[in-house]
Each structure stands twice: as structure tokens, then as C-alpha cells.
Amino acid sequence: MEGPQAVQNAKNGDQPCTLIVVPLDRNDLDSNDPLEQDLGTFQTATRNAKPVLDFTPRHKGWQEVEHSIRKAVVLRRQQTG
């Protein structure tokens, strides 16, 4: 149940929450699944939601994930003072 709760927190804005979607081996979210519909509205950790496992070499995908997380942390720190 962590995924749905994280999505709800990020959507409501009641609690500080940053949600970053990390596509591992596919980027096609199921439009019939409410959780996956919501996930499609959030930032992805890779450009154009390219799956990490599709990068060659693969470490390039993980570098994009790391960059996205670092950027989100800096932004969150700026927002909280």
C-alpha cells in the first residue's frame, strides 16, 4: 500500500512529498489502472520516461535516475528552508 499512499500525499500537497517514477523495463502504464493513471502524471527519473534497462550502457540510465533524485532533493531543501 505504499505506492497509493505516496501518490495520494503527492497529489494532496498536505504533507511534503516528492514522487519520482523510475521506469525500469517498460514505460507503458495501464490506463485502466487508477494507480498507474496517477503515476503517469508525475515526473519520471529518465528523459522521455525511457526505461533504465533500455539504456546502453545501462549505467547511463542509472545516472539519469541519480541526477533526477539529486535535483529533487535540492528543490525540496529550497522549499523547506
Handedness of CA 32, 15, 64, 58 (dihedral sign): negative
pLDDT tens by residue, 31-48? 898 888 888 888 899 998
pTM for the predicted model, two decimal places: 0.78
25 three-state secondary structure = coil
Cβ contact 30:36 at 8 Å:
yes
Q: Which domain holds residue 64?
A: 2-80
55: cell is 539504456
pLDDT tens by residue, 5-18? 777 877 777 667 78
pLDDT band (50, 70, 90) for residue 59: very high
Number of domains in the chain: 1
The answer on pLDDT for 71 being more than 50 is yes
Helix (H) or strand (E) holding 24: none
